[in-house]
Amino acid sequence: MTKRLLKFTTKLASTSFIVLLCFLAFIILSSRISGAEPSVFGYQIKAVLSGSMEPIFQTGSIISIKQVDNTTFKKGDIITFQMEDKLITHRIIDIENKNGQVSYRTKGDNNDGPDMWSVPLNDVIGSYTGFTIPYIGYALNVTQSKEASALMLFIPGFLLFSSAVFSIVRAARKLDVEKA
């Protein structure tokens, strides 16, 4: 019984690892081909690089955001916006409307005070969907280099090739046993 449980656990872990590698390869390929940010089913995947929104999502997690165009948000919504050359995901704490131009005051849940800037509506990339997976963001960040992208394409191919060779060898041994 213990041997069967160990075998099942090993197969489950290796299958999960292969699925994760294939998922990351899909994200990398789709973003490289399109030249856009990594996205799955119309949702962008973003890596969390700081603890400003803890405990909602932890550093090193990935979060899903839904892209929006000129959508107005309400106080309490979590938005991702462009600030200079980086993306930030914070909660809206106040909405400003000056001469018909909407902007948002934001704050990270784990920060002591509000952000020192207002976010114009056209700088908002999307809104947080509530979906997060801890620790995967570390792997996603590593995959941004060209070397890691190549490795992520090589590993699933190598695993599939190894599995095929292993299956052929196992079938050949089984055939030899049956002949004897």
pLDDT per residue rounded down to tens, the chain (180 residues): 688 888 888 888 888 877 876 776 676 666 666 666 666 666 777 878 888 888 888 888 888 888 777 677 888 888 888 888 888 889 999 988 888 888 889 988 888 888 888 888 888 888 888 888 888 777 777 666 677 767 767 777 787 888 888 888 888 887 777 776
Tokens of 161: 């090739």
Q: Would you list the domain boundaries of the chain?
A: 1-36+139-164, 38-133
Q: Which of 44, 3, 37 is nearest to 129 (CA)?
A: 44
Per the CB < 8 A criterion, the answer to whether 161 and 117 are in contact is no
Tokens of 31: 């973003």
pTM over 0.75, yes/no: no
Q: Report the C-alpha gap between 143 and 145 in whole angstroms.
A: 6
Q: Any idea what DSSP says for residue 55? A: T
Q: Which of 104, 93, 111, 94 is nearest to 53 (CA)?
A: 111
Q: Which of 168, 169, 155 is nearest to 23 (CA)?
A: 155
CATH of region 38-133: 2.10.109.10
Positions annotated as catalytic residues are: 50
Per the CB < 8 A criterion, the answer to whether 152 and 38 are in contact is no
46 forms beta bridges with 63
